[in-house]
Chain A
Amino acid sequence: MNAPANSTRGVSLQVRNLWKRYGRQEVLRGVEFEVQAGEVFVLMGPSGSGKSVLLKHIIGLETPDAGDIFINGESISTPGVLERHRLAMVFQSGALLNSLTVAENVGLYLSEHRLKPPEEIARVVSEKLAVVGLEGAEDKMPSELSGGMKKRVAIARALVMEPQLILYDEPTSELDPLSAIVIAEEIVKLNRRMGVTSLVVTHDRDLAFDVAHRVAVIHEGRLLAQGAPEDIRQSAHPVIRRFLHAEFNPQTVT
Protein backbone atom coordinates (compact mmCIF):
# COMPACT_ATOMS: atom_id res chain seq x y z
CA MET A 1 0.00 0.00 0.00
CA ASN A 2 1.13 3.50 -0.71
CA ALA A 3 0.15 6.68 1.05
CA PRO A 4 -2.91 8.12 -0.68
CA ALA A 5 -2.38 11.12 -2.92
CA ASN A 6 -5.28 13.17 -1.55
CA SER A 7 -3.55 13.67 1.81
CA THR A 8 -4.35 17.33 2.13
CA ARG A 9 -5.66 17.09 5.69
CA GLY A 10 -2.94 15.13 7.43
CA VAL A 11 0.25 16.59 8.81
CA SER A 12 3.72 15.18 8.58
CA LEU A 13 5.63 14.19 11.66
CA GLN A 14 9.35 14.00 12.23
CA VAL A 15 11.02 12.69 15.34
CA ARG A 16 14.70 13.52 15.54
CA ASN A 17 17.14 11.84 17.88
CA LEU A 18 14.82 11.72 20.89
CA TRP A 19 16.29 10.92 24.29
CA LYS A 20 14.49 10.56 27.58
CA ARG A 21 15.49 9.14 30.90
CA TYR A 22 13.45 8.61 34.07
CA GLY A 23 15.76 8.45 37.04
CA ARG A 24 18.52 6.13 35.99
CA GLN A 25 16.50 4.36 33.32
CA GLU A 26 17.09 5.43 29.73
CA VAL A 27 13.68 4.92 28.16
CA LEU A 28 14.21 6.56 24.77
CA ARG A 29 17.67 6.35 23.28
CA GLY A 30 17.88 8.32 20.10
CA VAL A 31 14.56 7.52 18.47
CA GLU A 32 14.37 8.85 14.95
CA PHE A 33 11.72 8.44 12.28
CA GLU A 34 9.49 10.30 9.91
CA VAL A 35 5.81 9.88 9.13
CA GLN A 36 4.58 11.44 5.93
CA ALA A 37 1.31 13.33 5.76
CA GLY A 38 -1.53 10.90 5.23
CA GLU A 39 0.48 7.83 6.09
CA VAL A 40 -0.40 5.01 8.48
CA PHE A 41 2.75 4.30 10.40
CA VAL A 42 2.82 1.37 12.78
CA LEU A 43 5.23 1.16 15.65
CA MET A 44 5.70 -2.27 17.13
CA GLY A 45 7.72 -3.38 20.06
CA PRO A 46 7.68 -5.46 23.18
CA SER A 47 6.18 -4.27 26.44
CA GLY A 48 8.28 -1.65 28.19
CA SER A 49 10.19 -0.62 25.09
CA GLY A 50 9.07 3.00 25.42
CA LYS A 51 6.18 3.17 22.99
CA SER A 52 3.74 5.00 25.24
CA VAL A 53 6.46 7.35 26.42
CA LEU A 54 7.26 8.19 22.81
CA LEU A 55 3.61 9.01 22.07
CA LYS A 56 3.43 11.26 25.13
CA HIS A 57 6.37 13.22 23.77
CA ILE A 58 4.74 13.63 20.39
CA ILE A 59 1.51 14.98 21.87
CA GLY A 60 3.44 17.32 24.17
CA LEU A 61 2.74 15.73 27.54
CA GLU A 62 6.44 15.12 28.17
CA THR A 63 9.50 17.09 27.18
CA PRO A 64 12.50 15.22 25.84
CA ASP A 65 15.95 15.43 27.39
CA ALA A 66 17.39 15.84 23.92
CA GLY A 67 16.11 15.80 20.38
CA ASP A 68 13.11 17.39 18.81
CA ILE A 69 9.77 16.67 17.20
CA PHE A 70 8.44 18.48 14.16
CA ILE A 71 4.91 18.73 12.85
CA ASN A 72 4.77 19.93 9.26
CA GLY A 73 8.34 21.03 9.77
CA GLU A 74 7.65 23.14 12.87
CA SER A 75 9.14 22.14 16.19
CA ILE A 76 6.47 21.40 18.80
CA SER A 77 8.61 23.14 21.40
CA THR A 78 7.74 26.41 19.67
CA PRO A 79 4.75 27.90 21.51
CA GLY A 80 1.49 27.62 19.64
CA VAL A 81 2.53 24.87 17.24
CA LEU A 82 0.75 22.12 19.16
CA GLU A 83 -2.38 24.24 19.48
CA ARG A 84 -2.42 25.15 15.82
CA HIS A 85 -2.62 21.53 14.70
CA ARG A 86 -5.31 19.12 15.74
CA LEU A 87 -3.59 16.15 17.29
CA ALA A 88 -5.53 13.44 19.06
CA MET A 89 -4.38 10.56 21.16
CA VAL A 90 -6.16 7.36 22.06
CA PHE A 91 -4.66 6.43 25.40
CA GLN A 92 -3.73 2.88 26.20
CA SER A 93 -6.13 2.92 29.15
CA GLY A 94 -8.75 4.98 27.37
CA ALA A 95 -8.39 7.80 29.94
CA LEU A 96 -12.09 8.68 29.84
CA LEU A 97 -13.25 11.24 32.36
CA ASN A 98 -14.97 9.07 34.92
CA SER A 99 -17.28 11.79 36.18
CA LEU A 100 -18.82 12.37 32.75
CA THR A 101 -21.14 10.21 30.67
CA VAL A 102 -20.00 8.60 27.46
CA ALA A 103 -21.69 11.30 25.40
CA GLU A 104 -20.14 14.08 27.46
CA ASN A 105 -16.75 12.45 27.11
CA VAL A 106 -17.01 12.11 23.38
CA GLY A 107 -18.40 15.61 22.91
CA LEU A 108 -16.07 17.26 25.40
CA TYR A 109 -13.75 18.79 22.83
CA LEU A 110 -16.64 20.40 20.97
CA SER A 111 -18.52 21.58 24.04
CA GLU A 112 -15.52 22.97 25.91
CA HIS A 113 -14.25 24.88 22.92
CA ARG A 114 -17.81 25.82 21.93
CA LEU A 115 -17.33 24.70 18.39
CA LYS A 116 -20.91 23.59 17.83
CA PRO A 117 -24.37 24.09 19.35
CA PRO A 118 -25.55 21.34 21.72
CA GLU A 119 -27.94 19.61 19.29
CA GLU A 120 -25.23 19.48 16.69
CA ILE A 121 -22.80 18.03 19.26
CA ALA A 122 -25.33 15.36 20.20
CA ARG A 123 -25.64 14.42 16.55
CA VAL A 124 -21.86 14.22 16.01
CA VAL A 125 -21.46 12.18 19.19
CA SER A 126 -24.05 9.61 18.11
CA GLU A 127 -22.46 9.43 14.71
CA LYS A 128 -18.98 8.79 16.10
CA LEU A 129 -20.26 6.28 18.62
CA ALA A 130 -21.93 4.42 15.78
CA VAL A 131 -18.62 4.35 13.95
CA VAL A 132 -17.04 2.42 16.81
CA GLY A 133 -20.08 0.20 17.24
CA LEU A 134 -21.46 1.71 20.42
CA GLU A 135 -24.84 3.07 19.33
CA GLY A 136 -27.04 3.96 22.26
CA ALA A 137 -24.26 4.02 24.84
CA GLU A 138 -24.51 7.80 25.21
CA ASP A 139 -25.85 7.88 28.75
CA LYS A 140 -23.66 5.20 30.27
CA MET A 141 -20.92 6.11 32.70
CA PRO A 142 -17.36 4.94 31.96
CA SER A 143 -17.46 2.72 35.04
CA GLU A 144 -20.27 0.75 33.43
CA LEU A 145 -18.19 -0.11 30.36
CA SER A 146 -15.85 -2.99 29.69
CA GLY A 147 -12.20 -2.32 28.91
CA GLY A 148 -12.74 -2.76 25.21
CA MET A 149 -15.78 -0.48 25.19
CA LYS A 150 -13.79 2.22 26.97
CA LYS A 151 -11.13 1.94 24.31
CA ARG A 152 -13.73 2.37 21.61
CA VAL A 153 -15.24 5.39 23.33
CA ALA A 154 -11.73 6.84 23.50
CA ILE A 155 -11.39 6.34 19.76
CA ALA A 156 -14.73 8.06 19.20
CA ARG A 157 -13.54 10.93 21.36
CA ALA A 158 -10.43 11.27 19.22
CA LEU A 159 -12.47 11.16 16.00
CA VAL A 160 -14.64 14.04 17.17
CA MET A 161 -11.63 16.33 17.04
CA GLU A 162 -11.31 15.62 13.32
CA PRO A 163 -7.61 15.33 13.91
CA GLN A 164 -4.81 15.81 11.44
CA LEU A 165 -2.67 13.34 13.31
CA ILE A 166 -4.00 10.51 15.45
CA LEU A 167 -1.82 8.60 17.86
CA TYR A 168 -3.30 5.24 18.77
CA ASP A 169 -1.77 3.56 21.80
CA GLU A 170 -2.67 -0.11 21.53
CA PRO A 171 -6.08 0.47 19.96
CA THR A 172 -6.95 -3.23 19.85
CA SER A 173 -5.24 -4.60 22.91
CA GLU A 174 -8.41 -5.29 24.86
CA LEU A 175 -10.71 -6.14 22.01
CA ASP A 176 -11.98 -9.47 20.76
CA PRO A 177 -10.71 -10.41 17.28
CA LEU A 178 -13.89 -9.23 15.60
CA SER A 179 -13.93 -5.79 17.20
CA ALA A 180 -10.22 -5.54 16.54
CA ILE A 181 -10.87 -5.97 12.84
CA VAL A 182 -13.61 -3.34 12.97
CA ILE A 183 -11.19 -0.92 14.58
CA ALA A 184 -8.47 -1.78 12.08
CA GLU A 185 -10.91 -1.11 9.26
CA GLU A 186 -11.86 2.13 10.91
CA ILE A 187 -8.24 3.25 11.15
CA VAL A 188 -7.77 2.57 7.45
CA LYS A 189 -11.10 4.13 6.46
CA LEU A 190 -10.42 7.26 8.42
CA ASN A 191 -7.04 7.54 6.85
CA ARG A 192 -8.40 7.05 3.33
CA ARG A 193 -11.37 9.33 3.73
CA MET A 194 -9.75 12.27 5.42
CA GLY A 195 -6.08 11.64 4.83
CA VAL A 196 -5.38 11.79 8.53
CA THR A 197 -1.86 10.82 9.45
CA SER A 198 -1.96 7.88 11.83
CA LEU A 199 0.66 6.57 14.17
CA VAL A 200 -0.41 3.24 15.58
CA VAL A 201 1.43 1.66 18.47
CA THR A 202 0.70 -1.99 18.89
CA HIS A 203 2.03 -5.41 19.56
CA ASP A 204 -0.78 -6.96 17.59
CA ARG A 205 1.05 -8.35 14.55
CA ASP A 206 -2.09 -8.83 12.46
CA LEU A 207 -3.26 -5.28 13.03
CA ALA A 208 0.18 -3.94 12.22
CA PHE A 209 0.51 -5.61 8.85
CA ASP A 210 -3.13 -5.04 7.93
CA VAL A 211 -3.16 -1.29 8.30
CA ALA A 212 0.41 -0.12 7.89
CA HIS A 213 1.92 1.76 5.01
CA ARG A 214 5.18 1.48 6.87
CA VAL A 215 6.25 -0.35 10.01
CA ALA A 216 8.95 0.34 12.56
CA VAL A 217 10.14 -1.85 15.39
CA ILE A 218 11.24 -0.31 18.65
CA HIS A 219 13.26 -2.18 21.23
CA GLU A 220 14.69 -0.80 24.47
CA GLY A 221 14.22 2.77 23.35
CA ARG A 222 15.78 2.40 19.91
CA LEU A 223 14.29 1.80 16.51
CA LEU A 224 15.69 -1.43 15.16
CA ALA A 225 14.24 -1.12 11.70
CA GLN A 226 11.65 0.72 9.67
CA GLY A 227 10.27 0.14 6.24
CA ALA A 228 7.49 -1.38 4.20
CA PRO A 229 5.56 -4.15 5.98
CA GLU A 230 7.00 -6.76 3.66
CA ASP A 231 10.59 -5.72 4.37
CA ILE A 232 10.03 -5.81 8.10
CA ARG A 233 8.38 -9.19 7.85
CA GLN A 234 11.39 -10.50 5.93
CA SER A 235 13.88 -8.82 8.24
CA ALA A 236 16.84 -10.91 9.30
CA HIS A 237 17.35 -9.02 12.55
CA PRO A 238 17.17 -11.64 15.32
CA VAL A 239 15.12 -9.52 17.77
CA ILE A 240 12.61 -8.62 15.09
CA ARG A 241 12.40 -12.21 13.94
CA ARG A 242 11.75 -13.36 17.48
CA PHE A 243 9.14 -10.69 18.03
CA LEU A 244 7.30 -11.23 14.76
CA HIS A 245 7.46 -14.96 14.54
CA ALA A 246 7.05 -16.00 18.14
CA GLU A 247 4.65 -18.91 18.26
CA PHE A 248 3.35 -20.81 21.20
CA ASN A 249 4.65 -24.32 21.06
CA PRO A 250 3.00 -26.69 23.54
CA GLN A 251 5.80 -29.19 23.12
CA THR A 252 8.36 -26.90 24.70
CA VAL A 253 6.29 -26.35 27.85
CA THR A 254 7.28 -28.84 30.48
Chain B
Amino acid sequence: MFQNIGEMVLLFWRTLRALPLTWRQRQKVADQLFEIGNASLLMVCVLSFFIGGVLALQTGPVLVERGLHQYVGGLVGVALARELAPVMMAILIAGRCGSAMAAELGSMRVYQEIDALRTMNINPVHFLVLPRLVAIALGLPMLVVFSILVGWLGGALVASITNQIDISVQAFFADLRNGVELKDVVNGVFKSFCFAWIIGIVSCHQGLTTIGGPRGIGRSVTKAVVNSIVLIILFDFFLTRLLLD
Protein backbone atom coordinates (compact mmCIF):
# COMPACT_ATOMS: atom_id res chain seq x y z
CA MET B 1 0.00 0.00 0.00
CA PHE B 2 2.75 2.43 0.95
CA GLN B 3 4.47 1.54 -2.28
CA ASN B 4 1.30 2.44 -4.16
CA ILE B 5 1.06 5.77 -2.40
CA GLY B 6 4.69 6.45 -3.22
CA GLU B 7 4.14 5.59 -6.86
CA MET B 8 1.07 7.78 -7.03
CA VAL B 9 2.90 10.72 -5.52
CA LEU B 10 5.65 10.17 -8.07
CA LEU B 11 3.13 10.03 -10.91
CA PHE B 12 1.53 13.22 -9.60
CA TRP B 13 4.92 14.93 -9.53
CA ARG B 14 5.82 13.75 -13.01
CA THR B 15 2.52 14.98 -14.36
CA LEU B 16 2.97 18.35 -12.70
CA ARG B 17 6.39 18.67 -14.23
CA ALA B 18 4.95 17.77 -17.63
CA LEU B 19 2.25 20.45 -17.39
CA PRO B 20 4.15 22.92 -19.60
CA LEU B 21 3.82 20.36 -22.40
CA THR B 22 0.03 20.48 -22.23
CA TRP B 23 -0.24 22.76 -25.23
CA ARG B 24 1.36 20.14 -27.47
CA GLN B 25 -1.23 17.63 -26.33
CA ARG B 26 -4.16 20.03 -26.66
CA GLN B 27 -5.93 17.91 -29.24
CA LYS B 28 -5.94 14.95 -26.87
CA VAL B 29 -7.04 17.12 -23.96
CA ALA B 30 -9.95 18.33 -26.06
CA ASP B 31 -10.86 14.77 -27.02
CA GLN B 32 -10.79 13.66 -23.41
CA LEU B 33 -12.84 16.67 -22.29
CA PHE B 34 -15.43 15.88 -24.91
CA GLU B 35 -15.41 12.28 -23.74
CA ILE B 36 -16.01 13.32 -20.14
CA GLY B 37 -18.79 15.72 -21.03
CA ASN B 38 -20.39 13.35 -23.46
CA ALA B 39 -20.31 10.49 -21.01
CA SER B 40 -21.70 12.33 -18.02
CA LEU B 41 -23.59 15.51 -18.85
CA LEU B 42 -27.04 13.95 -18.94
CA MET B 43 -26.39 11.95 -15.80
CA VAL B 44 -25.06 15.02 -14.02
CA CYS B 45 -28.25 16.85 -14.96
CA VAL B 46 -30.62 14.19 -13.69
CA LEU B 47 -28.65 13.43 -10.55
CA SER B 48 -28.19 17.07 -9.58
CA PHE B 49 -31.83 17.88 -10.11
CA PHE B 50 -32.92 15.09 -7.82
CA ILE B 51 -30.25 15.76 -5.21
CA GLY B 52 -31.42 19.36 -5.01
CA GLY B 53 -34.99 18.13 -4.87
CA VAL B 54 -34.46 15.65 -2.08
CA LEU B 55 -32.51 18.21 -0.08
CA ALA B 56 -35.51 20.55 -0.27
CA LEU B 57 -37.83 17.69 0.66
CA GLN B 58 -35.77 16.70 3.68
CA THR B 59 -35.10 20.16 5.08
CA GLY B 60 -38.10 22.13 3.86
CA PRO B 61 -40.95 20.73 5.97
CA VAL B 62 -38.81 20.69 9.13
CA LEU B 63 -37.81 24.33 8.76
CA VAL B 64 -41.23 25.53 7.64
CA GLU B 65 -42.88 23.81 10.60
CA ARG B 66 -40.69 25.88 12.92
CA GLY B 67 -41.38 29.07 10.98
CA LEU B 68 -37.93 29.20 9.45
CA HIS B 69 -39.06 29.08 5.82
CA GLN B 70 -36.70 31.89 4.83
CA TYR B 71 -33.76 29.57 5.50
CA VAL B 72 -34.77 26.78 3.13
CA GLY B 73 -33.20 28.37 0.05
CA GLY B 74 -29.97 29.19 1.83
CA LEU B 75 -29.62 25.76 3.36
CA VAL B 76 -30.22 23.92 0.11
CA GLY B 77 -27.97 26.35 -1.73
CA VAL B 78 -25.05 26.05 0.66
CA ALA B 79 -25.30 22.29 1.09
CA LEU B 80 -25.27 21.77 -2.66
CA ALA B 81 -22.47 24.19 -3.40
CA ARG B 82 -20.14 23.27 -0.58
CA GLU B 83 -20.67 19.57 -0.23
CA LEU B 84 -23.13 17.60 -2.26
CA ALA B 85 -22.40 18.72 -5.79
CA PRO B 86 -18.61 18.33 -5.53
CA VAL B 87 -18.68 14.97 -3.75
CA MET B 88 -21.50 13.37 -5.70
CA MET B 89 -20.13 14.51 -9.05
CA ALA B 90 -16.65 13.31 -8.12
CA ILE B 91 -18.05 9.89 -7.27
CA LEU B 92 -20.04 9.85 -10.49
CA ILE B 93 -16.98 10.77 -12.54
CA ALA B 94 -14.83 8.25 -10.70
CA GLY B 95 -17.30 5.59 -11.78
CA ARG B 96 -17.76 6.90 -15.28
CA CYS B 97 -14.36 8.26 -16.32
CA GLY B 98 -11.90 6.89 -13.76
CA SER B 99 -12.94 3.39 -14.70
CA ALA B 100 -12.51 4.18 -18.39
CA MET B 101 -9.02 5.57 -17.80
CA ALA B 102 -7.94 2.53 -15.82
CA ALA B 103 -9.37 0.18 -18.42
CA GLU B 104 -7.79 1.99 -21.36
CA LEU B 105 -4.34 2.31 -19.82
CA GLY B 106 -4.61 -1.18 -18.38
CA SER B 107 -5.26 -2.76 -21.75
CA MET B 108 -2.49 -0.69 -23.30
CA ARG B 109 -0.18 -2.02 -20.64
CA VAL B 110 -1.29 -5.63 -21.03
CA TYR B 111 -1.10 -5.56 -24.82
CA GLN B 112 2.38 -3.99 -24.75
CA GLU B 113 1.27 -0.72 -26.30
CA ILE B 114 3.02 1.14 -23.51
CA ASP B 115 6.19 -0.85 -24.12
CA ALA B 116 5.92 0.11 -27.77
CA LEU B 117 5.64 3.78 -26.81
CA ARG B 118 8.72 3.52 -24.67
CA THR B 119 10.74 1.96 -27.48
CA MET B 120 9.83 5.03 -29.53
CA ASN B 121 11.11 7.28 -26.75
CA ILE B 122 7.58 8.51 -26.14
CA ASN B 123 6.97 9.14 -22.48
CA PRO B 124 3.70 7.47 -21.44
CA VAL B 125 3.17 10.15 -18.79
CA HIS B 126 3.28 12.91 -21.38
CA PHE B 127 1.41 10.98 -24.02
CA LEU B 128 -1.29 9.27 -21.96
CA VAL B 129 -1.50 10.54 -18.41
CA LEU B 130 -1.08 14.27 -18.92
CA PRO B 131 -4.00 14.82 -21.32
CA ARG B 132 -6.32 12.72 -19.16
CA LEU B 133 -5.41 14.55 -15.99
CA VAL B 134 -5.68 17.99 -17.51
CA ALA B 135 -9.02 17.09 -19.04
CA ILE B 136 -10.50 15.80 -15.82
CA ALA B 137 -9.06 18.67 -13.80
CA LEU B 138 -10.81 21.10 -16.14
CA GLY B 139 -13.90 19.03 -16.74
CA LEU B 140 -14.95 18.06 -13.25
CA PRO B 141 -15.06 21.63 -11.84
CA MET B 142 -17.10 22.70 -14.86
CA LEU B 143 -19.50 19.85 -14.29
CA VAL B 144 -19.74 20.81 -10.65
CA VAL B 145 -20.68 24.41 -11.47
CA PHE B 146 -23.31 23.04 -13.79
CA SER B 147 -24.44 20.57 -11.15
CA ILE B 148 -24.81 23.29 -8.51
CA LEU B 149 -27.02 25.36 -10.80
CA VAL B 150 -29.20 22.42 -11.80
CA GLY B 151 -29.39 21.29 -8.16
CA TRP B 152 -30.61 24.72 -7.06
CA LEU B 153 -33.22 24.65 -9.77
CA GLY B 154 -34.33 21.20 -8.62
CA GLY B 155 -34.56 22.39 -5.03
CA ALA B 156 -36.55 25.45 -6.04
CA LEU B 157 -39.02 23.52 -8.15
CA VAL B 158 -39.57 20.85 -5.52
CA ALA B 159 -39.99 23.49 -2.81
CA SER B 160 -42.64 25.27 -4.85
CA ILE B 161 -44.70 22.22 -5.74
CA THR B 162 -44.57 20.50 -2.35
CA ASN B 163 -47.53 21.48 -0.16
CA GLN B 164 -45.65 21.12 3.12
CA ILE B 165 -43.01 23.62 1.97
CA ASP B 166 -44.83 25.87 -0.47
CA ILE B 167 -42.13 28.42 -1.21
CA SER B 168 -42.31 30.04 -4.62
CA VAL B 169 -39.37 29.78 -6.99
CA GLN B 170 -38.68 33.51 -6.73
CA ALA B 171 -38.77 33.47 -2.94
CA PHE B 172 -36.53 30.41 -2.89
CA PHE B 173 -33.89 32.09 -5.03
CA ALA B 174 -34.14 35.33 -3.07
CA ASP B 175 -33.48 33.39 0.14
CA LEU B 176 -30.75 31.47 -1.61
CA ARG B 177 -29.03 34.69 -2.63
CA ASN B 178 -29.13 35.84 0.97
CA GLY B 179 -27.74 32.60 2.29
CA VAL B 180 -25.11 31.66 -0.27
CA GLU B 181 -21.92 33.59 -0.83
CA LEU B 182 -19.65 33.34 -3.81
CA LYS B 183 -17.12 31.89 -1.40
CA ASP B 184 -19.30 28.81 -0.92
CA VAL B 185 -19.37 28.06 -4.62
CA VAL B 186 -15.64 28.68 -5.01
CA ASN B 187 -15.04 26.41 -2.05
CA GLY B 188 -16.98 23.57 -3.64
CA VAL B 189 -15.42 24.03 -7.04
CA PHE B 190 -11.96 24.03 -5.49
CA LYS B 191 -12.72 20.76 -3.71
CA SER B 192 -13.86 19.21 -6.94
CA PHE B 193 -10.63 20.32 -8.58
CA CYS B 194 -8.72 18.38 -5.92
CA PHE B 195 -11.00 15.37 -6.36
CA ALA B 196 -10.33 15.44 -10.10
CA TRP B 197 -6.61 15.04 -9.48
CA ILE B 198 -7.31 12.19 -7.10
CA ILE B 199 -9.47 10.35 -9.64
CA GLY B 200 -7.00 10.94 -12.44
CA ILE B 201 -3.90 9.92 -10.53
CA VAL B 202 -5.47 6.87 -8.89
CA SER B 203 -7.02 5.63 -12.14
CA CYS B 204 -3.99 6.24 -14.35
CA HIS B 205 -1.72 4.67 -11.76
CA GLN B 206 -3.90 1.59 -11.55
CA GLY B 207 -4.02 1.37 -15.33
CA LEU B 208 -0.28 1.72 -15.79
CA THR B 209 0.53 -0.88 -13.15
CA THR B 210 -1.90 -3.49 -14.46
CA ILE B 211 -0.42 -6.97 -14.51
CA GLY B 212 -1.83 -10.16 -15.93
CA GLY B 213 -4.22 -10.49 -18.80
CA PRO B 214 -7.81 -9.30 -19.18
CA ARG B 215 -8.58 -10.27 -15.62
CA GLY B 216 -5.87 -7.89 -14.47
CA ILE B 217 -7.65 -5.10 -16.34
CA GLY B 218 -10.88 -5.87 -14.51
CA ARG B 219 -9.06 -5.81 -11.20
CA SER B 220 -7.47 -2.48 -12.02
CA VAL B 221 -10.78 -0.91 -12.94
CA THR B 222 -12.41 -2.02 -9.70
CA LYS B 223 -9.49 -0.80 -7.63
CA ALA B 224 -9.37 2.49 -9.47
CA VAL B 225 -13.02 3.25 -8.73
CA VAL B 226 -13.06 1.99 -5.15
CA ASN B 227 -9.78 3.67 -4.18
CA SER B 228 -10.86 6.92 -5.83
CA ILE B 229 -14.11 6.99 -3.90
CA VAL B 230 -12.44 6.20 -0.58
CA LEU B 231 -9.84 8.91 -1.13
CA ILE B 232 -12.49 11.40 -2.25
CA ILE B 233 -14.41 10.95 1.00
CA LEU B 234 -11.26 11.13 3.15
CA PHE B 235 -9.93 14.19 1.38
CA ASP B 236 -13.37 15.75 1.51
CA PHE B 237 -13.23 15.70 5.27
CA PHE B 238 -9.75 17.16 5.52
CA LEU B 239 -10.25 19.74 2.79
CA THR B 240 -13.48 20.87 4.42
CA ARG B 241 -11.73 21.20 7.74
CA LEU B 242 -8.91 23.11 6.09
CA LEU B 243 -11.26 25.49 4.28
CA LEU B 244 -13.34 26.15 7.38
CA ASP B 245 -11.20 28.97 8.70
Contacts and interface: CB of A to CB of B under 8 A. Distances in A.
Asked if chains A and B come from one complex, the reply is: yes
Interface of A: 56, 59-61, 83, 87-89, 91, 93, 95-99, 108-109, 112-113, 161
B113 A89 contact: no
Given A97-B108, A112-B127, A61 B113 contact: no
Given A97-B108, A112-B127, A83 B121 contact: yes
A95 B121 contact: no
Nearest to B121: A83
Interface of chain B, helix or strand or loop or mixed? Answer: helix
A113 B117 CA distance: 12
Nearest to B24: A114
Interface string B69-105: 0000000000000000000000000000000000010
A4 B135 CA distance: 51
B112 interface: yes
Contacts of A97: 108, 113, 116-117
B115 interface: yes
A161 B120 contact: yes
Interface of B: 104, 107-108, 111-113, 115-122, 127
A91 B120 contact: no
14 contacts: A89-B116, A91-B112, A91-B116, A95-B113, A95-B115, A95-B116, A97-B117, A98-B108, A98-B111, A98-B113, A99-B104, A108-B120, A108-B122, A113-B121
A91 B118 CA distance: 12
A113 B112 CA distance: 20
Contacts of B117: 97
Nearest to A167: B119
Contacts of B127: 112
Given A61-B118, A96-B113, A98-B113, 6 more contacts: A56-B115, A61-B115, A108-B122, A112-B120, A112-B127, A113-B122
A96 B111 CA distance: 9
Contacts of A95: 111-113, 115-116
B116 A109 contact: no
Contact of A93 (B107, B111, B118, B121): B111
Contacts of A89: 116, 119
Shortest 4 CB-CB distances between A and B: which pairs?
A95-B116, A95-B112, A109-B120, A89-B119
A59 B119 contact: yes
B106 to A, nearest CB: 13
- The residue in B111, B113, B116 that gathers the most chain A C-beta atoms within 10 A of its C-beta is B116
B29 to A, nearest CB: 15
A79 to B, nearest CB: 13
B154 to A, nearest CB: 37
Nearest to B104: A99
Contacts of B121: 83, 109, 113
A109 B115 CA distance: 14
A83 B118 CA distance: 10
Contacts of A59: 119
A133 to B, nearest CB: 21
Contacts of A60: 118-119
A60 B120 CA distance: 11
Contacts of B104: 99
A112 B55 CA distance: 49
Contacts of B122: 108-109, 112-113
A93 B113 CA distance: 10
A61 B119 contact: yes
